[in-house]
Amino acid sequence: MLTQDQLTLTNIRAELDRISKEMIELIQKYSLDASSSLEIIMVARERISEQQDYIRFLELSLEGRIYGEAAEMLEKAIVSDEDYKTTH
């Protein structure tokens, strides 16, 4: 997990890549083939037989969401700052 002072777009993207790779391994290991992202937790609950893997799957899901939201907020802040600088 990144600390507050490490939250840069570059670091966040690296973390998201790491999370994606680990998530793909679990998806392949358990053949998680949900038809939509909304169904993936239900499919994971049914197919992941090892409790440690299921917990890790949930952790990765949460981390990915948190980092995705952080990246979105940083991007908006950067765009807003750039817009402000061009108009002032």
Per-residue pLDDT tens, the chain, 88 aa: give them: 888 889 899 999 999 999 999 999 999 999 999 888 889 889 999 999 999 999 999 999 999 999 999 999 998 888 776 665 666 5
Longest dimension (CA), the chain: 58
| φ, ψ (nearest 5 deg) of residue 26 | -70, -40
Q: Taking the model in full, what pTM does it have?
A: 0.81
CA dihedral 7, 70, 1, 5 (to 10 degrees): 20
User: What count of other Cβ atoms lies within 10 Å of the Cβ of residue 27?
Assistant: 19
